[in-house]
Structure 1
Amino acid sequence: MNTMLGTMLGAKCLRLQRGLPFFTQQRWHSFRERKRFYKNVSISQIGSNKFEVNLDKRKLRTPLGNIFTVPTEPLAIAVATEWDAQKEIIKQHTMHLTSLCNTAQDNPSMRAKDKVVRGILHFLDTDTICYRLNEPVELVQFQTAEWDPMLEWINKKYDTEITSSTSIVGPQIPDSTKEMITKHLSTRSDWALVGYENTVQCLKSVVLAFALIDREITVERAVDLSNLELNYQVQRWGNVEWSHDIEYADSKARVAAASLFVHLVTEQTKKISKSSLL
């Protein structure tokens, strides 16, 4: 058991190490809790495609001091809802959409669009569902049954050739596949790419992120597939209930917000139902 567990942990650590240079997520909000200082939350339209969020008569601002503006009304409403839902204490770490907007607007790392696309693409080389173990047999069968359909889906829809491997260096991703993924991402707006990037980071998988954003799978399903090896261990050996439950809930919240963010900044927003994203 110790050998098998060590192998799994070693493989997981390698994937994380390989992804670290591109895995840094900018969290541009303060975790310091403050008392709620406003009563009413509203939105206002500025020009043809900008919307602001108002806290009483004050304009919401980003961490860099810019007036908080978003490109669509649905996104403005969603952010205003986050602020309106705060109780006596403002818990900014729970306002994931606000955080994503701050990152998109302030662009603190000053990255151009092509650099963001390359950063997302790098996750393809360390995609969670592409790395497989060759023991124990039950886990191998579990991975095949749960992950292979996702590979089949993305290869068919995006005309790619993404495979899995038990090698420590991972599968070889053809240049044609990387070009196809790059082409798709390049058609998305700078704001949408923030959502893509955060979804990929949370799930540690480009494949699962695409499937979720394309509404092929639900948020819960995406998180479960991303944590398949952990879930296998929990089923066999049990878990620390409160710790696992909290981490699972937090993962779902972040993944849901990031994927929803992509839709809220696109024209398709009005066609999205709440049930399709939960």
Structure 2
Amino acid sequence: MSEWAAKRFWTDTQVAEVEGGFEVRLDGRPVRTPFKSPLHLPTRAVAELLAGEWEAQSGTIDPNSMPATRMANSAIEKVAPQCAAVIAHLASYGETDLLCYRAESPEGLVALQAEAWDPWLDWARDTYGAELTTTRGVLPVTQPREAIDALTAPMAAMGPFELAAFHDLVSLPGSLILGLAAAAEAAAPEPLWQAARLDEVWQIEQWGHDDEAEAVNAHKLQAFMDAAVFLRAVRSEAA
């Protein structure tokens, strides 16, 4: 027996300005979160992103094709009630940042990691005053508390919608520094993502392509890029 799925029930999708922000309306009725909270959005750009996703639905509604809607729902229902906990969770990525854990061998991979990752560690130092410690191998290294505090500080200024997007920018690559670089638009999302999967690319070059792994990577890359687009939209009129 197939599971029930919602079908498109509206003909008109609009963005409307409301007190304190914007909302998406379907045939004049406002879209709400899964738990029926008002889905009030901070900027018109974000509302237009959501409206585009809803308008693109044809037949059965596919939530997987609506990343902006997902992030907006998460901002309201999950992030807003616990911003401090979300910030603490994301700060922990700095304590085990991907860029700090280097291969012991082969030397070709060691050199590639240094070439790709050292500039971003330098960027974090120059931008935030955060000097992180690198290590070879998998044994944990304790990062200076002042460095983690410096990397955490930018999150204190983020609202729930920013944090919802920033969560994906950090958790998907496993690097607080790459997430901060994406949020600051210090580079385009795709090269930042490629830096994060350097080890995986090295393995592919040695052992050949894995179609399933490549499909997973493509899905994660798209999610990373969607988060960058959402964050830019949140900040488009909030600055």
- TM-score for both structures, normalised by structure 1: 0.79
For 2:148 and 2:62, the matched residues in 1 are separated by: 39
Aligned position for 2:219 = 250
Q: How does 1:113-124 map to 2 (within 5 A)?
A: 113-124=83-94
Q: 1:266 aligns with which of 219, 235, 239?
A: 235
Tell me the secondary structure at the aligned position of residue 170 of structure 1: coil
For 2:142 and 2:119, the matched residues in 1 are separated by: 19
For 2:50 and 2:236, the matched residues in 1 are separated by: 18
The percent of aligned pairs where both chains have the same amino acid is: 25
Q: Is the 8 A contact 1:74 1:269 kept in 2?
A: no
For 2:238 and 2:146, the matched residues in 1 are separated by: 31
Deviation by residue 1:217-264 (Cα, 9 ceiling, x = unmatched): 2221122111111111111111123x2342222112211121222222
Aligned position for 2:59 = 88
**Does the alignment pair 1:54 with 2:25?**
yes
Letter of the 1:200 partner, please give it.
V
For 1:235 and 1:119, the matched residues in 2 are separated by: 34
Q: Is the 8 A contact 2:14 2:28 kept in 1?
A: no
What is the CA-CA distance between 1:33 and the residue it aligns to? 4.6
What is the CA-CA distance between 1:61 and the residue it aligns to? 1.4
- TM-score for both structures, normalised by structure 2: 0.91
* Unaligned ranges ≥5, structure 2: none
Aligned position for 2:142 = 172
Aligned position for 1:43 = 15
Q: 2:46 aligns with which of 43, 64, 75?
A: 75
Aligned position for 1:34 = 6
What is the CA-CA distance between 1:93 and the residue it aligns to? 1.0
What is the CA-CA distance between 1:86 and the residue it aligns to? 1.9
Distance 1:92 1:195, change over 3 A: same
Q: How does 1:198-209 map to 2 (within 5 A)?
A: 198-209=168-179
**Does the alignment pair 1:128 with 2:98?**
yes
For 1:230 and 1:138, the matched residues in 2 are separated by: 14
Q: 1:101 aligns with which of 64, 69, 72?
A: 72
Letter of the 2:195 partner, please give it.
L
For 2:33 and 2:195, the matched residues in 1 are separated by: 34
**Does the alignment pair 1:221 with 2:196?**
no
Q: Is the 8 A contact 2:204 2:210 kept in 1?
A: no
Tell me the secondary structure at the aligned position of residue 63 of structure 1: coil
Q: What is the root-mean-square deviation in Å for CA atoms of aligned residues?
A: 2.1
